[in-house]
């Protein structure tokens, strides 16, 4: 998802993955799964199949971890700031974890086209030997809009097409 931010010295965008559920929604979903699983597990254990309980607990732990990990990764964000003389990229989940600043006139974006039509292109911000992945979680429509924003801002886009056939 692209969000245009107010920035007095230039242009700024916040890039985030699409989220179908909020954190509260994930907690409610996990609670419903846990209630149903525990009702079934306790019912079977009262019927004499007590070995169901540890496996139900293990199942809930794995599902809970999967929901937590997915929800945390969906809160990842990248802030792309474009000023008159620099390009800055900030990445993080809850806070800024890493930052790159590069001179605008020497920066380019490398767009690696996929081998087949089922994948999205990969973007990398490049300056000399430094290459940083950019917007790897964007859907195809958001990626197209972001590339259009970069081209309109005067950032050079280098499209690299893979050699060979798609199934190799």
Residues 71-102 have pLDDT tens digits of 999 999 999 999 989 999 999 998 899 999 99
- Please, are residues 23 and 164 in contact by the beta-carbon 8 Å criterion? no
Same domain, 57 and 138: no
The total number of structural domains in the chain stands at 2
Instruction: Report percent pLDDT > 90 for the chain.
Output: 70
pLDDT tens, 131-153? 999 998 998 899 999 999 999 98
Give the pLDDT of residue 162: 80
Long-range contacts of 67-71 (CB under 8 A, 24+ apart): 67/26, 67/29, 67/30, 68/26, 71/21, 71/23, 71/26
Same domain, 50 and 98: no
Give the pLDDT of residue 118: 78
Q: Which residue range is the domain that position 49 belongs to?
A: 23-73
CA-based Rg of the chain, rounded to a whole angstrom?
Answer: 22
Q: What is the mean pLDDT of residues 111-119?
A: 83
**pTM of the full predicted structure?**
0.78
The answer to the question of residue 40 being in a domain is yes
Residue 134: CB atoms within 10 Å: 23
Place of tokens 């964007």: 138
């Amino acid at each position: 998802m692209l969000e245009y931010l107010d920035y007095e010295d230039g242009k700024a965008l916040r890039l985030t993955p699409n989220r179908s559920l909020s954190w509260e929604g994930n907690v409610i979903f996990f609670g419903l799964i846990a209630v149903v699983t525990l009702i079934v597990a306790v019912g079977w254990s009262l019927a004499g199949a007590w070995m169901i309980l540890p496996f139900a607990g293990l199942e809930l732990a794995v599902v809970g971890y999967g929901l937590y990990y997915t929800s945390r990764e969906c809160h990842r964000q990248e802030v792309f700031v474009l000023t008159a003389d620099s390009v800055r990229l900030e990445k993080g989940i809850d806070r800024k974890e890493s930052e790159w600043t590069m001179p605008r006139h020497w920066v380019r974006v490398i767009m690696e086209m996929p081998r087949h039509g089922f994948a999205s292109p990969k973007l990398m911000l490049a300056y000399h030997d430094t290459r940083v992945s950019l917007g790897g979680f964007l859907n195809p429509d958001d990626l197209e809009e972001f590339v259009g924003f970069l081209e309109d801002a005067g950032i050079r886009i280098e499209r690299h097409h893979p050699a060979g056939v798609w199934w190799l």
